[in-house]
A and B are shown apart, each in its own frame.
Chain A
């Protein structure tokens, strides 16, 4: 399974766009990139998933360059409620024994 590296923590302000980058140099051909969000004392919640280029949904965008060795989760116009831990995961969509790392603790300031 590909190992991921992401910043331990980030701070931002309400109304800003936040970009969290994840490195996954050993990503395999069959691997997808998935991001989860976790609030304190709750289970993680799926945010977005992609394979290449750009994926956008109502919550976030995911940018994946051509070499797929990194990805960037973009949260537009964050609010205080976006304060959470964000996990980047890489894994085969068929054999989905995915591995959660320590994630990025995002703190949104007023």
Chain B
């Protein structure tokens, strides 16, 4: 969805480097999420934020940190990247519950990260 953008789209880095993945949205949604996807597997939730002051750990938060700089921006950081963090990373947004008929998440195009 063009309303949710992720930068960079592709990144190759080395073990031990600090990496930041950025997500921006123009949908005006309160809720934002970071997922990772490994080949042949489904998406796993890393962190989620229901508003600027509310950040929560997901299933696999170890080795990751996040920052919600504004309603529209949610960044994911790998403080010291390791090879098993090589994956496809997706950002998603959703409206606050009760504002829409469906509880739908809108996904960005993904960032392919390779850690050598």
Contact with A along B82-116 (1 / 0, CB 8 A): 00000010101010011000111111111010000
Say whether A43 contacts B41, CB under 8 Å: no
Name the contact of B42 in the complex, choosing from A34, A46, A87 (C-beta under 8 A).
A87
Say whether B103 contacts A43, CB under 8 Å: no
Residue pairs across A and B with Cβ atoms less than 8 A apart, 20 shown, are: A34-B102, A34-B103, A36-B105, A41-B110, A43-B4, A43-B92, A43-B108, A44-B90, A46-B105, A49-B102, A49-B104, A87-B42, A94-B97, A94-B98, A96-B103, A97-B58, A99-B59, A100-B35, A102-B40, A102-B41
The answer to whether B19 has its CB under 8 Å from any CB of chain A is no
Query: Chain B residues with Cβ under 8 A from A95's Cβ?
Result: 97
Query: Chain A residues with Cβ under 8 A from B48's Cβ?
Result: 97
Residues of A within 8 A of B (CB-CB), count: 23
Query: Chain A residues with Cβ under 8 A from B88's Cβ?
Result: 41
The answer to whether B55 has its CB under 8 Å from any CB of chain A is no
The answer to whether A29 has its CB under 8 Å from any CB of chain B is no
The answer to whether B68 has its CB under 8 Å from any CB of chain A is no
The answer to whether B1 has its CB under 8 Å from any CB of chain A is yes
A42 CA to B41 CA, complexed, in Å: 14
Say whether B41 contacts A97, CB under 8 Å: no
The answer to whether B43 has its CB under 8 Å from any CB of chain A is yes
Query: Chain B residues with Cβ under 8 A from A87's Cβ?
Result: 42-43
Closest 4 CB pairs of A and B: A43-B107, A100-B43, A46-B104, A100-B42
